[in-house]
Structure 1
Amino acid sequence: MNEHSRISNSEVTVQDLAAERAVTYGTEAFLSKDYAQAEKERLWPRVWQMAGRLEDIPKVGDFFTYDVCDESIIVLRAAEGEGPDAIRAFYNVCAHRGRQLVDVPAGSNGVRGNARSFVCAFHGWTYDLEGRNTYILDEDDWHGALTPDCTSLTRLRADTWGGFVYVDMREEGESLEEFLGDAGRILSHFEFDKMRYKWRQWCIYPANWKTSIEAFMEPYHTTTTHNQLTAYAEFYAYSKAYGLHSVSGFDQRQAKEVTDQGGSVSRAGKGDDPRVSTYELARENYTTINYSASTDTLIAAASRLKDELPETATVGEVMAHWMASAKRDDAARGVIWPDIPPEVMSEAGLAWTLFPNQNILQGVTFALCYRARPYGDDPDMCIFEAYALERYPEGQEPKTEWVQAEPTEEKWGKVLAQDFANMRYVHKGMKSRGFRGALPNPHQEQKIINAHRNLAAFMGTGAPRLLK
């Protein structure tokens, strides 16, 4: 593992993060095949993982498979209702000889369907939605040795939050609420459970899953990677650790008037006329991030700011009018905004990373989300997913499916394509003997430092170390 030469012997602590002390870490977590193998035992079986959403399984018998490394998991709806009591998760394996019950083709992003029972294609052993074995061919041949315990499916812990379904391979451990901690407390105000898919896409990408997800954990890259956006706004940011999880948000290089007055991902742009710059920034972001990270209602309301406000309107007045106008427009079409206290909105920032691999960029009525997972045993590949959520009038949400899409501008939009253009070359570059270890920005990229600090704790490997 390459290490930067100017490091101390001190592993970074929570206090070091709070003090924004500079650190470095090597490349083993990204490049080592042994490390990727170790993740199968030390990471993935020891955390709550977001497997999908409740809207993926709206009817009794609906299921999807969630695969990570060598594990395949069936997540299904066993009963009516929105709570976790209606959801079951089982390992996708027959109790007889280990054949998968649901065939998951290599190179796929899981399988979806509806079933009242699961039948093993090898010998016909059959299981109901509670994982109970309901049929064994020639059961008498075992002379009474078979019991319900040894013939049922192996169940995993499953829980729900914000419309997401999480699974945990541990038989015992902290609850999902405890795992999410302050991140869950803060983000619950955004009511993700009332949002629905706007679009969802995935690809097999040539970089480690950590390389890929980290590209979306900080806005520090925006000035260079997405330089077209700098015509409309500054993208200086802070980042902050919340235990396993972390947040980033808009910041100022010097203290001056706060421009983020309209919401966690809303602010005025550059220019002397905030009525115009607010609309231009919102429109540019929306149209180049695959029509996500905002809504049609917000863009339409921003387009009217110049007509509805005087030239003397301040940034604060523009932001307040924009949000109030959009809120009224949404209410008229049956979309009611959640009531988020100002102190929560301030703490919520711009975007969250939920350890180990879930990113959420949240707004009052929308969210843009990313996830990356290992692809087989290859540390140089991953499954990368992005999807947009939005709050719709009852029954008016679009019908969507997971779409496999090549990582191009045509398929993903300009901004995401620019990110894809970086990720594979970051991964390749880390293989160079000339790379001495990462030097993440301790103010703007603390989310990444915190992720590696926590990853090292799970993996039992060297944590980021302080620079001298």
Structure 2
Amino acid sequence: MTSIDDVADADATGKVPERYACGETFVPKTRYVDPDFLALELDRLFTQVWQPACREEEIPQPGSYYEYTIGRQSIMVVRQKDDTIKAFYNACTHRGMKVVRGAGCASEGDLRCPFHGWRFGLDGRSAFVPARDEFLHRPREQWSLKPVTVGTWGGWVFISMADDPPDLLGWLDPLPTALASFRLQDMRFRWRKRTFLQANYKTVIDAFIEGYHTPGTHPQTLRAAQGPRPSAEPAPPQEFSYAPYTPTIPYRNHSRFIYTARPDSGNRDSARKAQAARPEVFANSMQYNYLEVGSLVTERDYRAAQQLAAMEPTDVPPFVRYHQLCEELALAEGVDFPTMTMEQYFAGNGDWHVFPTLVILVEKSCVLGYRMLPDAEDPNRCVFEMFSLEHFASAEVPETAWQEFPRWQDHDGWGELPTQDLMNIDAIHAGMHSRGFDGLWLNTAQEMSIRNEHAIADRFIFGSEEVSAGD
């Protein structure tokens, strides 16, 4: 166990205690399984960083509120009468009772504590105290709810419990610039699901911020020539040479990986490249995303892929033709579709880890997202959320709510690809408890997103400042 003295020494020197210290490509398992490390994260990391509490559409009108829980901290996000947004610690200043639970709307124009009936304005100010004259005098602000700093970007409402948090857009850099053309703030939920996993929240995050696992976990994605629903039989060693190359781009506070060609591939895969250049093969991959992921491709995009599949090859790459068809269909059906150059697309497209808990895979028409939240006490348990956002015509925005499943196995609608990931998670985390496993040994090109998340965390937990490629 790490002693209080060890942590105090780390505070003074910026040195990470040996038990938790990472190497250049090594991450000790203690950072995933040690209850003391979870306590440090909840006390020193999550109280200092910006984190997404909800989407703006989840608090659609004045009085709407949303309860965001991180560890033992409950935060209420509240839409104000002037349509602005404020956030407060969700604790009545009388006896600590939660003022709101879940999501809803304060229809009477104020927030009511269900214990003794104290009331607070939407702006957090004390509005009514039964028998107030029976209490000793206190300054008015002490009767009111304690505020939490709030900001918005991309349609998300972010909160920070820090006394002096950094500028939100500065914290998010480079996402606001890289993703501006995609207009994430104009997207709305297509669907959203929540479940609970027997794993540390970082175990789950790590599975979604690197593409190195693709041929091992998702071999069907290598076989688009077989059709929209290819075989998922395990890949033989020779098939791994056709796996996508997904290098990591670390930033100061976040990371990203992209799909690209391996630098040393040359003309080695010329036959396969020629096959992939056929319209129907590319179209198969897009149809698969719609059928077995339920995101990254919208229903309109799926129809565009079906059109592409029937076309003959030309000098225009299938990728370009597909995007043209998607845009034409969207505009014809009344969608305010984002327009951008290919340079803008490639600057923002990819898999982003918005540290610490959000992962978004960004496309022009939609976003596939994940959020992983730690348990308050158990490092071997977390909340897992998965959702899809989409650009809709104004009259087509669906009514959605969070679907919650106590066990992920209780729902058979995750899709083949997400199910493959979920089937791995428990076993990955169980293996971390093995006496034969010391920690993670990471790929220097395709898994540095994982190493980067720990470097970011150490700045807040231990005051350790590493220089990353993003600095």
Q: Which range, TM-score by smaller chain?
A: 0.7 to 0.9
Q: Is the 8 A contact 1:452 1:464 kept in 2?
A: no
TM-score w.r.t. the length of structure 1 is 0.85
| Aligned residue number for residue 276 of structure 1 | 280
Distance change >3 Å, CA 74–CA 306, structure 1 → 2: closer
| Aligned residue number for residue 421 of structure 1 | 423
- 1:343: how far off? 2.8
Distance change >3 Å, CA 29–CA 442, structure 1 → 2: same
Q: Which runs of 5+ in 1 are unaligned?
A: 2-10, 13-20, 105-109, 259-267
1:207 corresponds to 2:199: yes
| Aligned pairs for 1:313-324 within 5 A | 313-314=314-315, 316-324=316-324
Q: Distance in 2 between the 1:225 and 1:344 partners?
A: 30
Q: Distance in 1 between the 2:169 and 2:307 partners?
A: 41
- 1:256: how far off? 6.5
Distance change >3 Å, CA 397–CA 271, structure 1 → 2: same
| Aligned residue number for residue 178 of structure 1 | 170
Q: Distance in 2 between the 1:225 and 1:359 partners?
A: 19
| Aligned residue number for residue 147 of structure 1 | 139
- 1:272: how far off? 5.7
TM-score w.r.t. the length of structure 2 is 0.85
In structure 2, what residue type is equivalent to 1:286? Answer: Y
1:390 corresponds to 2:399: no
* 1:21-60 deviation digits (Å, cap 9, x = unpaired): 9611101211011111112211111000100001001111
In structure 2, what residue type is equivalent to 1:238? Answer: P
Q: Distance in 1 between the 2:466 and 2:423 partners?
A: 27
1:92 corresponds to 2:84: no
| Aligned residue number for residue 8 of structure 1 | none
Q: Is the 8 A contact 1:269 1:280 kept in 2?
A: no
Q: Is the 8 A contact 1:355 1:451 kept in 2?
A: yes
Q: Distance in 2 between the 1:160 and 1:132 partners?
A: 22
Q: Distance in 2 between the 1:326 and 1:176 partners?
A: 33
Q: Distance in 2 between the 1:126 and 1:269 partners?
A: 66
- 1:254: how far off? 3.6
| Aligned pairs for 1:316-465 within 5 A | 316-405=316-405, 406-408=407-409, 410-460=412-462
317-326 or 158-167: bigger deviation: 317-326
Q: Distance in 2 between the 1:389 and 1:125 partners?
A: 38
1:249 corresponds to 2:253: no
Q: Distance in 1 between the 2:88 and 2:276 partners?
A: 58
| Aligned pairs for 1:68-79 within 5 A | 68-79=70-81
- 1:270: how far off? 7.5
* 1:340-359 deviation digits (Å, cap 9, x = unpaired): 34333222241100111110
Q: Which runs of 5+ in 2 are unaligned?
A: 2-14, 17-22, 225-241
Q: Distance in 1 between the 2:172 and 2:308 partners?
A: 38
Q: Which among 141, 160, 164 is matched to residue 152 of structure 2?
A: 160
Q: Is the 8 A contact 2:64 2:103 kept in 1?
A: no
In structure 1, what residue type is equivalent to 2:193? Answer: Q
- 1:465: how far off? 13
Q: Is the 8 A contact 1:361 1:369 kept in 2?
A: yes
SS at match of 1:410: coil
Q: Could you tell me the percent identity over the aligned residues?
A: 30
Q: Distance in 1 between the 2:273 and 2:66 partners?
A: 42
- 1:464: how far off? 9.7
SS at match of 2:340: coil
| Aligned residue number for residue 246 of structure 2 | 237
Q: Is the 8 A contact 1:452 1:463 kept in 2?
A: no
In structure 2, what residue type is equivalent to 1:385? Answer: E
Q: Which runs of 4+ in 1 moved over 4 A?
A: 255-258, 461-466
Q: Is the 8 A contact 1:269 1:281 kept in 2?
A: no
SS at match of 1:250: coil
- 1:117: how far off? 1.5
Q: Distance in 1 between the 2:302 and 2:69 partners?
A: 37
1:131 corresponds to 2:133: no
In structure 2, what residue type is equivalent to 1:283? Answer: Q
Q: Is the 8 A contact 1:231 1:270 kept in 2?
A: no
Q: Distance in 2 between the 1:302 and 1:49 partners?
A: 36
- 1:257: how far off? 8.7
Distance change >3 Å, CA 166–CA 180, structure 1 → 2: same
SS at match of 2:208: coil
Q: Is the 8 A contact 2:280 2:310 kept in 1?
A: no
Structural RMSD (CA): 2.6
Distance change >3 Å, CA 464–CA 411, structure 1 → 2: farther
In structure 2, what residue type is equivalent to 1:187? Answer: L
Distance change >3 Å, CA 270–CA 462, structure 1 → 2: farther
Q: Is the 8 A contact 2:296 2:361 kept in 1?
A: yes
Aligned residue pairs, count: 426
